[in-house]
Amino acid sequence: MTAIELLLQRQSTPMLTEPAPNDADLSTLLAAGMRAPDHGGLKPWHFHVISGQGLQQLSDLYLEAISVELAHSDLEDQAIIDKKAKTAKMPFRAPMLIVISTNYAEHSKVPKQEQLVAAGCCAHAMQMAAFSLGYGAMWRTGDLAYNNIVKAGLSIEGNNDIVGFLYVGTPTKEAGVKPAKDYQEHVTYWQ
Ligand SMILES: Cc1cc2nc3c(=O)[nH]c(=O)nc-3n(C[C@H](O)[C@H](O)[C@H](O)COP(=O)(O)O)c2cc1C
């Protein structure tokens, strides 16, 4: 696959299974993440790689977070049970998750917004690296990405952000290439 093919064919894979990237491939993914454009060379990001027993730890953390939230909800008992069960299963949608978070630095020329974008580029780069190595990946967030209990459980300081949960694994089925999106309506030319 050429670089252009990768850029033009990248797509998400929601259904993922074993195997997760092996150590060498994981190292390539992380190195691709580190290659993100980075104003000031601040490396304003952090990656948590979660697999194996770590998935259960993340599930426990999610359950803790959702339980606090649900304690104040007026949902029926059964709806609460269902919501907890669904939440607990989330980390197991793939054999590996990479949590990409910010690690904001104070810098007079690099506002927080640029650092957030740079961390987002890490997620994109890692997804593309996974794709080019034959794995599938899907970038997800959802309420739990913005939950303070989840952030604290991952030792992500209050002012930092979870940019995404990159689910990584092997596609469960061969997927056709999605049609390209037309760019014309999104482009203005000055010439
Ligand atoms: C910051 C961010 C958060 C996202 N969160 C979710 C999510 O929680 N759930 C979801 O189904 N898709 C989410 N997506 C979108 C998917 O990753 C994916 O891009 C989308 O389903 C389109 O599929 P494609 O990547 O194959 O074009 C998110 C994308 C970004 C950039």
Distance CA 138, CA 55 (A): 16
Asked if residue 123 belongs to a domain, the reply is: yes
Classify residue 70: in a domain, yes or no.
yes
CA distance 173 to 171: 5
The number of beta carbons lying within 10 Å of the beta carbon of residue 32 is: 19
Ligand 1 interacting residues, C-beta cut-off 6 A: 11-12, 138-142, 164, 178
- Flag whether 21 is in a domain: yes
Q: What does the mean pLDDT of the chain come to? A: 97
CA of 138 to the centre of ligand 1 (A): 7
The pLDDT value given to residue 175: 86
**Distance of alpha carbon 191 from alpha carbon 188, whole angstroms:** 10
User: Atom 19 of ligand 1 has which residue's CA nearest to it?
Assistant: 12
CATH code at 158?
A: 3.40.109.10
Domain assignment of residue 126, given as a range: 12-174
Tell me which of 63-67, 173-177, 185-189 is least confident.
173-177
Percentages of the chain per state (helix, strand, coil), in multiples of 5:
50, 15, 35
Q: How far apart are CA 20 and CA 38, in angstroms?
A: 28
Q: What is the pTM (predicted TM-score) of this model?
A: 0.97
Total number of domains constituting the chain: 1
